[in-house]
Amino acid sequence: MRMTVIGTGYVGTVHAACMADIGHEVLGVDIDAERIATLAAGRAPLHEKDLDALVVSGVSSGRLRFSTSLAEAAAFADLHFVCVGTPQRPNGPAADLRYVDSVVEGLGPHLRPGALVVGKSTVPVGTAERIAGRLAHLAPDAEVAWNPEFLREGSAVHDTMHPERLVLGVASARADTLLRTVYEPMRRAGVPLFTTDPATAELVKVASNAFLATKISFVNAMAEVCEAAGADVTLLARAVGADSRIGPHFLDPGLGFGGSCFPKDIRAFAARAEELGAGEAVAFLHEVDRINTRQRRRTVERARRLLGGTFAGRRVGVLGAAFKPGSDDVRDSPALAVATAVRAQGAAVRVHDPQALDNARAVCPDLTYTLDIPKACEDADLVLHLTQWPEYRAIDPAALAGVVRTPLILDARNVLDARAWGAAGWAFRALGRPVSTLGGAS
């Protein structure tokens, strides 16, 4: 089947490459000529497991091509996936839909009769209806559907090829049949498929993100209580997560969530609910957001206390810049927020990350970066573990103790082996856990 994927950012590049891999003929479209040239040369413009190989394979086979022209896209196919960004507005919490609207305005006049425009971008409920109204003037025979993505950065290719569910928000049997055909390999593999109206499909995505964000903020709120009570939040989370009604996933206490989805999506959801007169129903999301932001401040404050109340004249080694492991994405990264705050308060900060340093340097040029873990920690008075890359769990604590000034570490992700670090002579501290349960030097 022929299709276009408009927007070759994170979601669009993955979707285009995966659709080509399962046999479709795909044209990826973006206004960024440099990005399109990179993709056309068979190189993925972002770090994502298995994505490079899929892009190379798709381009080599001829099933995956790229263009900067929406007119070419309209001529190429009658099925168009819209995957452009929906960032937070600069002046408020609502979603900025200018890129979605720009695609509709640019593509609409060129669409052939019967074209299907399928949104994958995360949008406020009602966007599909609004777009359909606009296309009624630009392309009267075109139709709109919504097919939200549920990708996790770091495993997006796997999540596309082996999704936990497919949601098709459609307004006609024809659109339903067409999208079922697109995902036929997944349907044959037994992936659950839900056919809904477009508004419900839009809400499934934002409701899912809101629920997961709430679980993360809940366990981090419990971490604050644990610190006050002398309890251990990691043990609490395991015991609570053993309840089948709750489950262990996303009950990982630590620095909190970031990235391009959860923070802006829960804010946009709350803003849209206010517009619909249902703001009170999701008022709790404001506290979810506040708890998450507070985790960053608490981490900085905890680090400052460990250094005797001041960062002035101190050296701090930072492990992690990406917002999560497996990605080079630093958008709204909690790790970078903490590193920047520590530097602003007087510390000399050196940051390590295995993938995200170029992106981090672009947004936080005042920090010092290195691809060498010992170099990041050299002469450090404190090491901060801020992104849970597997490389950091593989560190030999005894060897690293030989390069720091003071063997003191704050594990803001609660994944390092406290006893191994303590046995190597480190004073090991972690969020939501009392010193008595950690072992090691005090």
DSSP string, 81-140: EE----PBPTTSSSB--HHHHHHHHHHGGGPPTT-EEEE-S---TTHHHHHHHHHHHH-T
Ordered alpha helix ranges (H), 242-344: 262-275, 284-306, 334-344
Report which secondary-structure segment, H or E, holds 348: strand 348-352
**192 CB-contact burial (10 Å; exposed 0-12 / middle 13-18 / buried 19+):** exposed
Of the candidates 69, 145, 146, 147, the one whose C-alpha atom is nearest the C-alpha of residue 109 is 69
Active site residue 364: no
Burial letters 237-252, b for 16+ CB under 10 A, else e: beebbeeeeeeeebbb
Pairing of strands 193-196, 315-319: unpaired
Q: Nearest-5° angle of CA 286, CA 414, CA 283?
A: 10
Could you write out the three-class secondary structure of 362-389?
HHCCCCEEECCHHHHHCCCCEEEECCCC
CA dihedral sign, ordered 272, 277, 279, 282: negative
Query: Torsions phi, psi of 317, nearest 5?
Result: -95, 130
- Alpha carbon distance, N-terminus to C-terminus of the chain: 64
Question: Cα–Cα distance between 384 and 386 in angstroms, integer?
Answer: 6
* φ/ψ of residue 348, rounded to 5: -90, 120
Residues 255, 258, 259: CA angle, nearest 5 degrees:
150
Options 18, 226, 261, 377, the catalytic residue: 261
User: How far is the C-alpha of 50 from the C-alpha of 161, rounded, in Å?
Assistant: 11
Active-site residue numbers? 261
